[in-house]
């Protein structure tokens, strides 16, 4: 981090800069291209199963509307089915609303498949008692199935561990079918729906929950809060589909009802949810051939070093993008050129720009600086109003190092170099006041000031909004992050170079936990000097970076359960990334617009002081890529993901912005951003680059020249 300079708010355009070669075949050696594999070579012998290929063709023909042709192919192939008998019976019953045909007997005969645990097979060997329904009513049917389930549960000790997992999946399927039936009945017979919820769904969910708990104990004895079979929110087709959340949702539907235009669940979504657990050999995944074709096109593109594509995952331009794919020839592409244009320059800060962050909704841009002479250290700009100043944060006596918007974009954390952490509510504006200097803009006063004392005991005191006495020694708090789950909206994590991470409760103004004391290891005396922290989107991982050599990942997945149940909170260290070099910062990619990418959430970008950036898969402890070219030897330089997480962008001590292709590591652009406009200092350093999460063509940079520059990138 550089420590000099200043700036006033004027809009200017510095023209545009374009980069990338127009032709690349001439200077890329042939040996840099990957050799062809056996799959790339045409020939009469293809390594594909004929039955599987026929299934894909039948499914694809049905999908694009050629049902009669699909039936003809099915007949000509000898009756190859894209779904087995039991699977077809279940899905037909669901799609036709014949829930009386969805029995536990049928579910136990389904070919279960769980790739993550390498589990496949059915439970047809599990004995069920002979029972006859008293009537054909839906309530009697599900009561009968519940009695069968209780019969199986009484003999649970006779089942193998793998069969318990399969049974858990079958019960989840049964619950999803019961939920579908409940939502359809609710519109016409609320009393019957209530009886179904009380007599059938609630006790079945209770069994489901107990099976999940047993499964967790089998595979992770130390876990205090079991996950659902469908995994966490990012893996489950339905984010609500967890026992406690589902009961709460269904109770709410009873009280408030549901819209006929927007039902809680549908037959199609229920069938899709269940299909996730079916062996693909017995049920061709929906649109599988189309998915393979898209993967083939992505593979063809990936073989070209200088090609660059941003796929539209929003679904808005699917028709347009589909036309551009030529399936009759390889999709060979030309090199992509990018243009970077300075669309706005902001110079209202009175010193160097040390930190920048966009809010997750893209409305605000916050800047932080040391501002030695004035209190104008944090300025919040309104992006939607041409970067007018929204507010200036007051009572920041020390240089500001770090900013973090809350997930709902209503609050802002500010960490100072040697002072309290300030919390601002963006909705609590106050009129301009004179406080040592004339401020002509609305102000934000802190709603909380957090001081943390050094731990003399596990119950060390915390002071909030009150300045400690001279005899009280407080910890430096240099970085912070918010939790994402609404249940944890009042909790924040604070990192200290005085060797600790604090879990702090804003509502009660108390420390909930010190990570140095909850690790469960004999490492409490050697807890790292923390210089940056991050909380994963699912609130399961706390990533702690010191400025030397390594990054620790702690398990904090039990936090909300420990808060709710008032139990002991432990944070075992899951793994350690040995970077081996001095680090200055780290960053997650923005995953909000790309939930379908399962690997994006595990990426971690690390800035290294000896002039490189490293991209890690922190969940698997794999160094994926390095990015070199920028200058970083003495100061804190911060980097980020950008342009749909396909770019890596970083500042540099030579005042330039460096932008790389995330996948290949080659430089896409070098922008002379903070070289010629340094009225307050001879220092020419670009300290930080921040990307707008909502407008992926917009990013901002801040430098020692005291300027915030806003940029626009476009492919040409």
Residues 274 and 348 in one domain: no
Residue 315 maps to a domain: no
160 vs 648, more confident: 648
Picking from 236, 205, 230, 232, the residue whose alpha carbon sits closest to that of residue 560 is: 232
User: In terms of domains, do 268 and 384 share one?
Assistant: no
Percent of the chain at pLDDT exceeding 90: 49
- Per residue in 308-321, pLDDT (tens digit) is 666 544 444 444 44
* Cβ neighbours of residue 245 closer than 8 Å, sequence gap 6 or more: none
Q: Is the pLDDT of residue 204 over 80?
A: yes
pLDDT confidence of residue 320: 41
Assess whether 683 and 616 both reside in one domain: yes
| Average pLDDT of the residues in 548-565 | 89
Average pLDDT on 250-261 reads 78
The reply to whether 375 and 522 lie within a common domain is yes
Residue 371 forms part of a structural domain? yes
278 and 354 in a single domain? The answer is: no
| DSSP one-letter code for 278 | B
Q: What is the pLDDT of residue 592?
A: 81
pLDDT single digits (tens) 352-386: 999 999 999 999 999 998 866 666 689 999 999 99
Same domain membership, residue 365 and residue 247: no
Domain assignment present for residue 180? The answer is yes
Inform me whether the pLDDT recorded for 524 exceeds 60.
no
pLDDT at 387: 96
On average, the pLDDT of the chain sits at 82
Residue 232 lies in a domain: no
Q: Does residue 214 lie within any of the structural domains?
A: yes
Mean pLDDT of 109-130: 83
Please check whether residues 279 and 342 belong to one and the same domain: no
Query: Would the pLDDT of 447 be above 90?
Result: yes
Is 318 a domain residue? no
Report residue 248's pLDDT band, with 50, 70 and 90 as the boundaries.
confident
CA atoms within 13 A on the CB side of 121: 14
Q: Are residues 200 and 97 in the same domain?
A: yes
Clarify whether residues 98 and 180 are in a common domain.
yes
CATH number at residue 391: 2.130.10.10
Residue 30 within a domain: no
Per the domain annotation, does 641 fall within a domain? yes
pTM above 0.95, yes or no: no
Tally of domains in the chain: 2
Measured CA to CA, the distance from residue 156 to residue 211 in angstroms comes to 10
| One domain, residues 397 and 506 | yes
522 and 637 co-located in one domain: yes
Q: Which domain holds residue 348?
A: 338-430+440-450+473-715
Beta strands of 453-556 (E only): which ranges? 462-464, 479-482, 491-496, 500-505, 510-514, 530-535, 541-546, 550-555
Provide DSSP, 1-44: ---------------EEEES-S--TTTS-GGGSPPP-GGGS--S
Q: What is the pLDDT of residues 56-94, one digit of tens each?
A: 999 999 999 999 999 999 999 998 888 889 999 999 999
Q: What is the pLDDT of residue 241?
A: 64
Q: Which residue has the tokens 């551009």?
A: 324
In this predicted model, what pLDDT tens digit does every residue of 604-647 receive, in sequence order? 999 998 889 999 999 999 999 999 999 998 899 999 999 999 99
Which range is most confident: 107-111, 257-261, 308-312? 107-111
Dump pLDDT digits (tens) for 476-520. Answer: 999 999 999 998 999 999 999 998 999 999 999 999 999 988 876
Does 277 share its domain with 395? Answer: no
User: Looking at residues 103-111, what average pLDDT do you find?
Assistant: 93
For residue 48, pLDDT beyond 90: no
pLDDT at 482: 97
């Amino acid at each position: 981090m550089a420590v000099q300079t200043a700036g006033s708010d004027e809009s200017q355009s510095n023209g545009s800069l374009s980069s990338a070669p127009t032709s690349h075949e001439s200077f890329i050696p042939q040996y840099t291209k990957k050799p062809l594999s056996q799959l790339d070579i045409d020939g009469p012998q293809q390594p594909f199963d004929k039955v599987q290929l026929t299934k894909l063709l039948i499914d694809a023909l049905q999908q694009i509307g050629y049902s009669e042709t699909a039936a003809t192919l099915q007949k000509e192939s000898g009756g190859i089915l894209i779904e087995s008998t039991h699977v077809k019976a279940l899905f037909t019953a669901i799609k036709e609303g014949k829930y009386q045909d969805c029995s536990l007997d049928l579910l136990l005969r389904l070919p279960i498949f769980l790739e993550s645990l390498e589990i496949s097979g059915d439970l047809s060997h599990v004995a069920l008692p002979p029972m006859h329904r008293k009537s054909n009513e839906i309530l009697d049917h599900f009561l009968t199935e519940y009695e069968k389930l209780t019969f199986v549960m009484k003999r649970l000790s006779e089942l193998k561990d793998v069969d318990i997992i399969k049974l858990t999946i079958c019960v989840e399927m049964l619950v999803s079918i019961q939920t579908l039936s409940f939502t359809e009945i609710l519109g016409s017979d609320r009393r019957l729906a209530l009886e179904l919820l009380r007599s059938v769904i609630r006790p079945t969910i209770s069994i489901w929950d107990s099976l999940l708990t047993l499964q967790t104990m089998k595979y992770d004895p130390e876990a205090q809060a079991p996950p659902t079979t469908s995994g966490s929110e990012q893996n489950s087709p339905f984010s609500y589909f967890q026992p406690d959340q589902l009961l709460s949702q269904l109770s709410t539907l009873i009280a408030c009802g549901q819209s006929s235009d927007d039902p809680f669940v549908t037959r199609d979504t229920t069938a899709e949810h269940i299909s996730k657990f079916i062996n693909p050999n017995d049920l061709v995944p929906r649109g599988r051939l189309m998915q393979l074709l898209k993967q083939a096109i992505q593979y063809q593109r990936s073989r070209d070093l200088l090609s660059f594509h941003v796929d539209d995952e929003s679904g808005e331009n699917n028709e347009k993008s589909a036309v551009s794919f030529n399936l009759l020839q390889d999709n060979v592409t030309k090199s992509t050129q990018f243009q970077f244009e300075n669309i706005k320059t902001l110079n209202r800060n009175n010193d160097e720009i040390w930190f920048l962050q966009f809010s997750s909704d893209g409305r605000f841009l916050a800047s932080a600086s040391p501002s030695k002479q004035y209190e104008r250290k944090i300025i919040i700009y309104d992006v939607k109003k041409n970067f007018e100043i929204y507010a200036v944060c007051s009572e920041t006596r020390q240089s500001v190092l770090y900013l973090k918007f809350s997930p709902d974009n209503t609050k802002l954390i500010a960490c100072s170099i040697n002072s309290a952490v300030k919390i601002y509510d963006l909705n609590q504006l106050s009129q301009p006041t004179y406080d040592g200097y004339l401020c002509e803009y609305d102000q934000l006063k802190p709603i909380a000031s957090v001081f943390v004392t050094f731990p003399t005991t596990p119950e060390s005191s915390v002071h909030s909004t009150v300045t400690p006495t001279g005899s009280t020694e407080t910890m430096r708090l240099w970085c912070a992050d918010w939790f994402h789950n609404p249940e944890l909206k009042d909790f924040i994590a604070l990192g200290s170079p005085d060797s600790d991470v604090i879990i702090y409760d804003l509502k009660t103004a108390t420390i909930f936990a010190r990570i140095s004391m909850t690790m469960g290891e004999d490492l409490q005396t050697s807890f790292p000097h923390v210089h940056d922290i991050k909380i994963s989107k699912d609130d399961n991982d706390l990533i702690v970076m010191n400025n030397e050599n390594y990054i620790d990942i702690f398990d904090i997945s039990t936090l909300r359960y420990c808060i709710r149940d008032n139990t002991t909170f432990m944070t075992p260290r899951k793994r350690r990334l040995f970077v081996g070099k001095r680090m200055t910062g780290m960053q997650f990619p923005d995953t909000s617009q790309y939930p379908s990418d399962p690997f994006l959430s595990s990426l971690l970008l690390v800035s290294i002081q000896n002039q490189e950036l490293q991209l890690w898969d922190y969940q698997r402890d794999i160094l994926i890529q390095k990015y070199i070219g920028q200058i970083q030897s003495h100061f804190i330089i911060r980097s980020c993901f950008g342009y749909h997480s396909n770019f890596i962008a970083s500042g540099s001590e030579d005042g330039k912005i460096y932008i790389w292709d995330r996948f290949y590591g080659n430089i896409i652009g070098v922008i002379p951003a903070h070289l010629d406009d340094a009225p307050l200092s001879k220092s020419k350093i670009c300290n930080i680059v921040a990307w707008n999460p909502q407008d992926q063509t917009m990013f901002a940079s801040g430098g020692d020249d005291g300027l915030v520059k806003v940029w626009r990138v476009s492919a040409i």
